A and B are shown apart, each in its own frame.
Chain A
Amino acid sequence: MRTAQEAALAKHITEWVKRGRSTNGVDVPDFSEDTDLIAAGILDSRGFIEMMLEVEQQTGNRIDLNDIDPSEFTTIKGLCRCAVSQVSPC
Chain B
Amino acid sequence: MNLGPIDIDFLLQILPLLLKGAVLTVELTLLAIFFGTVIGLFVALAKISRFKILVTIGGIYTWAIRGIPLLVQLYILYYGLPQIGIELSAPAAAVVGLSVCGGAYIAEIIRAGIQSIDKGQMEAALSLGMSYAQAFRRVILPQAYRRLLPPMGNEFITLMKDSSLVSVICMTELLRQGKLLSNSTFRPMEIYLTVAAIYLFLTTIFIYLIGRLEKRLAISDGD
Decide if A and B are genuine partners. no
